[in-house]
Amino acid sequence: MKKVFAEIGFGNNSFFSTEYEEGDKEYRVPKFIMPGKIHSLYFRFWIFKKVFILSTNHGIEIKYKEKKRLKILLGISGESKTLKFTPELSAKILSGDKTSTWRLFDDKDLQKGDRLIFINKGTGEQFGHAIITSLNIKTLGTLTDGDWIGHERFPSEAEMYAAYRKYYGDKVSKDSEVKIISFDFKSDILLNSKAYDVVLVPETKITNEAIKISHDLEKFGTYFTLDNKTYFPHVSIYMLQIKDSDLDKVFGLLNEVAKGTRTITGTPRLFGTHNNYIDVEYEKTEEMRKLQMNVVNLLNPLRDGLRDRDKERLLTATGVEKETILKYGYRSVGEFFEPHLTFTRFKIEQKDTVNNMPNMSIFSGNFPEIGIYEMGDNGTCVKEIKKWKLG
């Protein structure tokens, strides 16, 4: 458990903030985060070296500090349970790929609605907080496909048992109870950069057809539905992390690219499925290839390290794929570039849907603009930043 002090007021670095304490260690994040278990409400007035505190637990107190300050704060104190994750799983949570965790022999009495603090086991650092949105109890021997939603899969059942015996010992068996926990996660990592996607923007006809199919597939259980408002149809050219301070430079470079590029024509070659995504894949024409390399070569020098998703991929990448990620910060460059327009991602595999798609020719057409969008989970474009007409 960590002590939590969520505060509103003047004197801290931000109007809303939360301080965490564990032993001798304390740190503050500029967000108001409710503790899992509330202990008291308080008003704190710090003037010069004297602090006046009025709380529901201790009434009126006066304390003395070594430093002079002026603070006027309302706060909630309490505690929150913690969960630890390996660096690899922490990266999956940050990227949005992992939204569920399994816990055996629960010694924290985890319950639906609990507010949790997530810790990177490798660094010992807090990387976010979450609320348990659902909790089911089963045995390892009775798991079904639905229980794997938002959770990493193991190559085989034997490897699953081996992994959990590594954590919990030889007592793990098919009869062991497991708490299947889904959570709503918020990152506490403060970044001055974001993940962006530079994309080809389809003409209206293709956009409307993509939205229609995405909406029709929603009944199978999906993570997102295209609507051109919160999730935008697109063909990705280059995904990268960019500092806020470099965005204007990026805009200038993309403006020059757009001026020197004619409208791109897209020719669909097949409907594809992979990793529960479903999309229409396009022929990789010379014009598309040149456009991508032009964008990549211009923007790569401004790239701010790796996106969380690419950090995760780097852990298992080998050979040319690994070299490509290290060089460009993105896997799908050059020979790995496969232009496609994604309709959605299923929560559970739906292979048969690809056999019931409409005539592929409806996705033939032009891509008259390039754009840059802020990225969300599952490779989505969730916020339009700027667009430029080609030619």
Q: Are 7 and 154 in the same domain? A: no
Overall pTM surpassing 0.85 (yes/no): no
Q: For residue 29, what pLDDT is reported?
A: 81
51-68 per-position pLDDT tens digit = 999 999 999 999 998 878
Parent domain of 182: 86-187
Per the prediction, the chain carries an average pLDDT of: 92
Helix axis angle, 286-299 relative to 247-259, nearest 10°? 150
Q: For residue 245, what pLDDT is reported?
A: 81
C-beta of residue 151 within 8 angstroms of C-beta of residue 100: yes
Q: Are 239 and 198 in the same domain? A: yes
Q: What are phi and psi of 222, to 5 degrees?
A: -130, 165
Question: What is the bridge-based pairing of β-strands 25-29 and 100-104?
Answer: unpaired
CATH number at residue 244: 3.90.1140.10
Q: For residue 312, what pLDDT is reported?
A: 76
Alpha-carbon torsion angle 324, 326, 327, 333, nearest 10: 30
What is the helix, strand, coil percentage profile of the chain, to 5? 30, 40, 30
Q: Show Cβ contacts of residue 58 under 8 Å, excluding neighbours closer than 6 positions.
A: 40
Q: Are 141 and 101 in the same domain? A: yes
Q: Are 201 and 298 in the same domain? A: yes
305-322 mean pLDDT:
85
Q: Are 177 and 204 in the same domain? A: no
Looking at 140, 167, 187, the residue that finishes a domain is 187
Q: Are 316 and 361 in the same domain? A: yes
Q: For residue 305, what pLDDT is reported?
A: 85
Q: For residue 126, what pLDDT is reported?
A: 85
325-365 per-position pLDDT tens digit = 999 999 999 999 999 999 999 999 988 898 899 999 999 99
Looking at 45, 60, 79, the residue that finishes a domain is 79
The pLDDT confidence band at residue 180, using thresholds 50, 70 and 90, is very high
Q: Are 211 and 296 in the same domain? A: yes
Looking at 48, 79, 110, the residue that finishes a domain is 79
246-286 per-position pLDDT tens digit = 899 999 999 999 999 999 999 999 999 999 999 999 999 99
The pLDDT confidence band at residue 192, using thresholds 50, 70 and 90, is low
Measured between alpha carbons, how far apart are the two ends of the chain, in Å? 59
Q: Are 71 and 112 in the same domain? A: no
75-111 per-position pLDDT tens digit = 999 999 999 999 889 988 988 889 999 999 998 999 9
What residues are paired with 302 via a beta bridge? Answer: none
Q: For residue 27, what pLDDT is reported?
A: 77
Q: Is the pLDDT of residue 315 over 80?
A: no
At 291 the three-state DSSP class reads: helix
The pLDDT confidence band at residue 187, using thresholds 50, 70 and 90, is confident
C-beta of residue 35 within 8 angstroms of C-beta of residue 96: no
The pLDDT confidence band at residue 307, using thresholds 50, 70 and 90, is confident
Q: What CA–CA distance (Å, rounded) separates 279 from 214?
A: 10
CATH number at residue 180: 3.10.400.10
C-beta of residue 278 within 8 angstroms of C-beta of residue 271: yes
Q: Are 179 and 205 in the same domain? A: no
Q: For residue 127, what pLDDT is reported?
A: 87
Residue 251 tokens read as: 């805009």
Q: Is the pLDDT of residue 191 over 60?
A: no
The pLDDT confidence band at residue 221, using thresholds 50, 70 and 90, is very high
173-202 mean pLDDT:
89
Q: Are 206 and 165 in the same domain? A: no
Q: Is the pLDDT of residue 190 over 70?
A: no
Q: Are 197 and 154 in the same domain? A: no
Q: Is the pLDDT of residue 390 over 70?
A: yes
Count of structural domains within the chain? 3
The pLDDT confidence band at residue 215, using thresholds 50, 70 and 90, is very high
Higher pLDDT, 138 or 310: 138
Q: Are 67 and 103 in the same domain? A: no
Q: For residue 72, what pLDDT is reported?
A: 94
C-beta of residue 44 within 8 angstroms of C-beta of residue 75: yes
Alpha helix stretches (DSSP H) within the chain:
87-95, 157-168, 204-217, 247-259, 286-299, 308-314, 319-328
361-371 mean pLDDT:
97
Helix and strand numbers, DSSP H then E, in the chain = 7, 18
Q: For residue 68, what pLDDT is reported?
A: 81
2-22 per-position pLDDT tens digit = 899 999 998 887 889 899 887
At 218 the three-state DSSP class reads: helix
Higher pLDDT, 122 or 40: 40
Helix or strand run (H / E) with residue 9: strand 2-10
Q: Percent of the chain at pLDDT above 90? A: 73
